[in-house]
Homo-oligomer: A and B are copies of this chain.
Amino acid sequence: MTDRGMGMWIHVDPRSPVPMYQQIVESVKANVAKGILNPGDKLQSVRELSVELAINHNTVAKAYRELERENVIEVIRGRGTFITLQPTAPNAEQRREEMRETIRKLLIEAHHLRMSHEELWQMFHQVMEEWRLSRETEAPESTEEGEKL
User: Chain A interface (Cβ within 8 Å of chain B)?
Assistant: 14-15, 17, 19-20, 26, 29-30, 32-33, 70, 72, 74-77, 79, 87, 89-92, 95-96, 99-100, 102-115, 117, 120-121, 123-124, 127-128, 131-132
Contacts and interface: CB of A to CB of B under 8 A. Distances in A.
A89 to B, nearest CB: 5
Given A79-B14, A124-B124, A99 B103 contact: no
B106 A14 contact: no
Contact of A113 (B95, B115, B132): B95
19 contacts: A14-B77, A14-B79, A15-B74, A15-B75, A17-B77, A19-B77, A29-B109, A89-B113, A92-B113, A95-B109, A96-B113, A99-B113, A99-B123, A102-B102, A102-B106, A103-B123, A103-B128, A107-B128, A117-B132
A127 B100 contact: yes
Contact of A33 (B75, B96, B112, B124): B112
Contacts of A29: 108-109, 112
